[in-house]
Chains A and B, each alone.
Chain A
């Protein structure tokens, strides 16, 4: 009985830690040069077009978290920024893919690709360029 309570407490705190400390990481192709934080900001705001950025769906909480930490802007501001670039023919917004697995697949296939995923999803197919917290 005592043991099960301890286990439950451990389980709960593990759960608490995993949700409370979810870390977003920016990932690139293992063979690519690591971009600076400024460059990552510029890529995701359309100023730097030397990389191919990927987005996760708007329904994923990680997207808002990533933009807030990487660019200091909320999703509505980011969308207004991209609509300026898009409807003046200057740049196309990041391609949207379904989940972390799709981000990793796209990055493995393209040395210029860049994306963001939860730290727990990192594996050898990608390289961590920046940890956002």
Chain B
């Protein structure tokens, strides 16, 4: 399975970057096929811990690993009329189960009954971040991967439900308000439990000008804990975020701050995270640096869902081909003697108590990625 995935990703990357394939292919009058992918190589300086993204298992060590960033996505959009469309996106990537899995990321119907208003129903990404919905599309982003200190905090990802977005033009800028409702879930490889969330609702406000985008949003939900051993039935969960993105006169900058809150379990869940990224575009070459940080609100929990962690990263994006970019990034990840956030948890269980091994020294990570769209 791993080998198949690798060779498919590689073949696709080569075919599409060598040819002058443009993004999106018309299939008949109403259907568009498009795809994206990343072939990513990751290596760390430390074989005692495994570096992972979004709670993957296993993670990368000091031998070259293909699994952290490699993925392959395919999307079909059918638009039989100007106001109605349907989108399905399949994505193969390494998730928090022990091998590559292909899942349906998106499956929704979108209607635009009046100008500026769009309503979607089905499965879509929960908009918890500035780039929630294209975080897996390497080509669409400056960095090699989103900072785990912020993007790894969410736990949840998908919404099964509906959302409505209204875009109001204000001069040469625009304001978009979006509201959502539905259900969600998350799988924990640590507890091997799929946890459901009901009554998920949220709102996002985004202001966009020619060169700056500012976004503020919040998602709430009720975590169903009836299957857990915590003794609690449910737990209200809130995730809030504010962020800004700038692309002006070749200067690229991005920053976000997020908070994760639980009503009944704050010592284990509550955490804050933020990052800043800055870069400068020299034609096709864009060097950048970023710094990211997260810490639990309660600094002395027995077990926390995420520990303290900071990452300093430097990298470069090179738009070497018409539909593909090469990226190289080095980063220093410091878990400050906690379990951190980007490392596979290693625990020993005695009776009912599990003790996790802290990451005691900073880990250097190097990544070389080819991102492509077709």
On whether the two chains bind one another, the answer is yes
Contact B77 A92 (CB under 8 A): yes
Task: Scan A76-119; emit 1 where CB is below 8 A from any B CB, else 0.
Answer: 11011011101111101101100000000000000000000000
Tell yes or no: A47 within 8 A of B by CB: yes
Contact A58 B140 (CB under 8 A): no
Known: A47-B208, A79-B373, A83-B373. A95 touches B26 (CB 8 A): yes
Task: Scan B206-239; emit 1 where CB is below 8 A from any A CB, else 0.
Answer: 0010100000000000000000000000000000
Q: Which interface class (under 10, 10 to 19, 20 to 34, 35 or more) fits A?
A: 20 to 34
Tell yes or no: B34 within 8 A of A by CB: yes
Enumerate B115-168 residues with CB–CB distance to A below 8 Å. Answer: 115, 120, 124-125, 131, 133-134, 137, 139-140
Contact A80 B139 (CB under 8 A): yes
Residue from A48, A74, A87, A93 within 8 A of B140 (CB atoms) = A87
Contact A96 B22 (CB under 8 A): yes
Task: Scan B33-59; emit 1 where CB is below 8 A from any A CB, else 0.
Answer: 010100000000000000000000000
Residue in B closest to A79 when the chains form the complex, CB atoms: B23
Tell yes or no: A123 within 8 A of B by CB: no
Q: Determine the distance from Cα of A92 to Cα of B87 in the docked complex, in whole angstroms.
A: 11
Contact B134 A88 (CB under 8 A): yes
Contact A75 B322 (CB under 8 A): yes
Contact B24 A92 (CB under 8 A): yes
Residue in B closest to A76 when the chains form the complex, CB atoms: B319
Enumerate B77-125 residues with CB–CB distance to A below 8 Å. Answer: 77, 79, 87, 89, 106, 108, 110, 112, 115, 120, 124-125
Tell yes or no: A13 within 8 A of B by CB: no
Task: Scan B184-223; emit 1 where CB is below 8 A from any A CB, else 0.
Answer: 0000000000000000000000001010000000000000
Tell yes or no: A50 within 8 A of B by CB: yes
Contact A92 B32 (CB under 8 A): yes
Residue in B closest to A47 when the chains form the complex, CB atoms: B174
Residue from A41, A75, A77, A93 within 8 A of B24 (CB atoms) = A93
Known: A59-B20, A76-B325, A92-B32. A83 touches B140 (CB 8 A): yes
Tell yes or no: B284 within 8 A of A by CB: yes
Tell yes or no: B4 within 8 A of A by CB: no
CB distance from A46 to the nearest CB of B (A): 11
Contact A87 B75 (CB under 8 A): yes
Contact B75 A50 (CB under 8 A): no
Contact A87 B134 (CB under 8 A): yes
Contact B172 A83 (CB under 8 A): no
Residues on B with C-beta less than 8 A from A96 are: 22
Residue in B closest to A59 when the chains form the complex, CB atoms: B20
Residues on B with C-beta less than 8 A from A47 are: 174, 208
What would 22 A/B residue contacts be, using CB atoms closer than 8 Å?
A47-B208, A57-B22, A58-B20, A74-B283, A76-B322, A79-B322, A79-B323, A80-B140, A82-B23, A83-B36, A84-B134, A87-B34, A87-B140, A89-B75, A89-B77, A89-B89, A90-B133, A92-B24, A92-B32, A92-B77, A93-B23, A93-B24
Q: A76-B319, A86-B75, A88-B133 are in contact. List 10 more A-B contacts (CB 8 A).
A: A38-B172, A50-B115, A74-B283, A76-B325, A84-B137, A87-B89, A88-B125, A89-B77, A89-B108, A92-B32
Binding site for B on A (CB under 8 A): 38, 41, 47-50, 57-59, 74-77, 79-80, 82-84, 86-90, 92-93, 95-96
A-B residue pairs, 10 tightest by C-beta: A88-B133, A76-B319, A89-B87, A83-B140, A84-B140, A87-B137, A84-B134, A83-B373, A38-B172, A88-B134
